[in-house]
Structure 1
């Protein structure tokens, strides 16, 4: 549902009532609704922006605009010589949010860290079964097997014990699924039988305090005056949900929002020409892809997946959706800027005759119908979903395959893709920590195939073994060799059509200051203000 633009007078009246006449809100036009506010249950970037970047913090974080790990709720840490234990020393004096529904009686401490991880790790934890979807990122990343124990040493010290070395561990726990919750608030909800409020009325330590959510319209926050890194300069943050790219751009030009996320690449020149606007941009760590359900009829045959790959004109797709210079045609499941990218692998040439022959060998009847799931609206890895789907439909028709395009709302598409209802799904991924494992394990591991986050439902034991071995290596050169081998297996089995690695854009008003565009494609507004 599109949110209709508000008249300036009405908007002013609403904002005055909500946050006071002297407040200077920052309004951000975003592309979709958050799935919920219990970050441990979700994996999407839009939910991360609305939850983990506003309400919560992790033990460690990333330096703004980089992938460099820096202190956050932990101000220091030590790693044992064998790499099997990490001891974190917690920042003192950190306050949880005070809201209408929760008044903390103590500061953040080790109990909160232990609760946040044990909830996801321990099947006997009283909150473990409260999640209707499990803990998809924690599970996909293999943390159930990685964490032997998370223990409180004292109120300001926590020790993590691992069964093996894990090279990306620090970067992993800087990610959204490792957000730290208030154990005191969770106990309050459990005693009151209001467990659902953890997902509806969140409490964290982050820069903004949740106020309310109007479904498919907006999320409102106020600045946290006790934020340990300093009160945000914006008195209030409003995420205005506008699925349509054009609506976001119109609202930006009308100053109904001061930042518009994910403008279409072909709109960038006109935005730059507007004297009231500016654009932040960089090469992001992303991949857009078409996942083929390897558990479905015919799709389980690698010949069919190969046929679809060589029938589709990927270069035409990338140029049409992103424009020249705004994306590169993908070969592998992660971009070439990351460790271990296999530069020897190339996309096979487009070959319609060979595609027809492969389909015939596999016994696919002429005119067979496959379903393609795609989203409404657009984001950084797919700015025009319908155009891309129609291009694939036209190309596959040339080799005798019919494509039934199913367009649906973002959250609905993800739910149905995780259930494995699709033959093909158009998806995208933005790296969360700058490590290649963050692309491979959450989307292509055997564990992710079980919980549905691996939309191809592809489980290759040799591929999995290479990932496991690479994570346990400390030497980057050794890790790189293993990832190069893993990409060979990926391309041999063809669970995806790797589409594009994209350039990321954020459009904003000229009077916006303090915004840091991130290669991780996260959007944090703790230092952003409207002058």
Structure 2
């Protein structure tokens, strides 16, 4: 038994829980891992949210999707569907499901069967059908699916037999498979849902989660921890670790301290300024990779004076992005020209042309807009994310820049759960936030963040709706030719630079800190984190 396993008995509140087991002698401890996470999940069903905090805690731990995205090969690969066929006209997608896929069991549910087509139909009909008994159980809606206008695209999902299902589309869509591979397109248990509906507790479906993933949910205590157990009946390679704990630790400095003392073995979102401390501890390893993400400052274009493009452009001109990169990211990010990062195949290095740092142009545009005095609110995320490790610091730098052109800024923040709830009401002037892509298709940036449909879903934080932009992006999805799609996305970026509904300022590296005892952990360029392939070195291996 190694030292990391022993420490599980004193960390993340496990001591208060009786070390997970009724008797906690060292010989009884199964191998496990503690992950210092940054915040509470909003739900345990990623269909209902777009926040990275929730995705990390749910999508790859508890669930699976029909297909997955392999960021090493850049291809869509089998998931719960072992094969699929696309019709010649691009309007039908037929999926063949794996057999023998087990759902989790819990204190309140024991599955009587394995996954079949009924579970897939339930998972998507819930999103698509307003008459479905579970459609309105989600008060938040289905923001990702609403943002991509999924209900308009998918005309039906039909069962051919117990292990074959077919999606019918209203139009060809080159991003359809990629969207089924996102962290949001998880498959739920229809049997569990119907049991809860009969009991009059349908809301438990999204909190007391049951999935087919490598881990099952055991317990969640807000602001403290999430406990998972290995899914012994998992259809894929069963994880080596038996226990997984998310130790909810909002402060980055505390996460780092817990990692140094061994109370965590993996830690989320280190701040760039803390990395010098990491080099002082040889037992710590920093993993980093270029991220497919963007940090941005979104203006609520449906509120005055942000409905005036001159004001939006003025505020964008006033911000020194390079200063933000130096002070907040400290060489862990590059300047964003538009919303697509350089790792995207549709990247345009000339995106954002005409929105360069120029306080003089900012003052001139405010004068043209007839604005002499202006006070605005900036909402700043209270939690760190890969795309913005310190939103409050970023807000302070923007506040200082805007003071130089006579604009006063009030910085507003709340606890993450309150922040996300209030943000959904859209009663803000502007917000510092960002986006992690789930796959390499450029549409994963454009449609969820800026489509008219995404205004209603809540993922469009600028609340900017432009039918010409929508038509351009939809045209790009209707074709498979990469060159033609790229040209359309460049046009879309040019329109964003002209209309300035948001100011993109950084594409950050994804970084993760871990103990050198941890092997097999892959840091993806995309959102989400997975622990199913992790191994922990034994004391003998460490000695060598």
Structure 2 length normalisation: TM-score? Answer: 0.93
Query: What residue is the counterpart of 1:184 in the other structure?
Result: 191
Shift of residue 46, structure 1, vs aligned partner:
1.4
Conserved? CA contact 1:282–1:503, under 8 Å: yes
Q: Residues 197-346 of structure 1 correspond to what in structure 2 (within 5 A)? A: 197-324=204-331, 326-345=332-351, 346=353
Conserved? CA contact 1:293–1:457, under 8 Å: yes
Determine if the alignment matches structure 1 residue 445 to structure 2 residue 451. Answer: yes
Shift of residue 170, structure 1, vs aligned partner:
1.2
Query: What residue is the counterpart of 2:390 in the other structure?
Result: 384
Query: What residue is the counterpart of 2:440 in the other structure?
Result: 434
Query: What residue is the counterpart of 2:130 in the other structure?
Result: 123
Distance 1:391 1:231 in 2: 47
Conserved? CA contact 1:65–1:517, under 8 Å: no
CA deviation map 1:94-113 (0-9, x unaligned): 01111111011111000000
Q: Residues 499-510 of structure 1 correspond to what in structure 2 (within 5 A)? A: 499-510=505-516
Shift of residue 6, structure 1, vs aligned partner:
9.3
Task: Say how many residue pairs are matched.
Answer: 525
Distance 2:310 2:436 in 1: 29
Shift of residue 270, structure 1, vs aligned partner:
2.9
Conserved? CA contact 1:282–1:504, under 8 Å: yes
Candidates 368, 371, 391, aligned match of 1:364? 371
Distance 1:22 1:253 in 2: 22
CA deviation map 1:354-388 (0-9, x unaligned): 2112112212232x210100122422111122211
Distance 1:8 1:523 in 2: 21
Gaps of 5+ in 2: 1-7, 538-544
Distance 1:34 1:412 in 2: 12
Candidates 463, 477, 501, aligned match of 2:469? 463
Structure 1 residues 6 and 232, CA, compared in 2 at 3 Å: closer, same or farther?
A: closer
Query: What residue is the counterpart of 1:414 in the other structure?
Result: 420
Gaps of 5+ in 1: none
Distance 1:365 1:415 in 2: 33
Structure 1 residues 450 and 254, CA, compared in 2 at 3 Å: closer, same or farther?
A: same
Distance 2:62 2:96 in 1: 22
Distance 1:521 1:177 in 2: 11
Query: What residue is the counterpart of 2:105 in the other structure?
Result: 98
Shift of residue 33, structure 1, vs aligned partner:
0.7
Conserved? CA contact 2:10–2:19, under 8 Å: no
Conserved? CA contact 1:31–1:377, under 8 Å: yes
Determine if the alignment matches structure 1 residue 17 to structure 2 residue 23. Answer: no
Farther-moved stretch of structure 1 (10-19 vs 194-203): 10-19
**What RMSD over aligned residues (CA atoms) do the two structures have, in Å?**
1.8
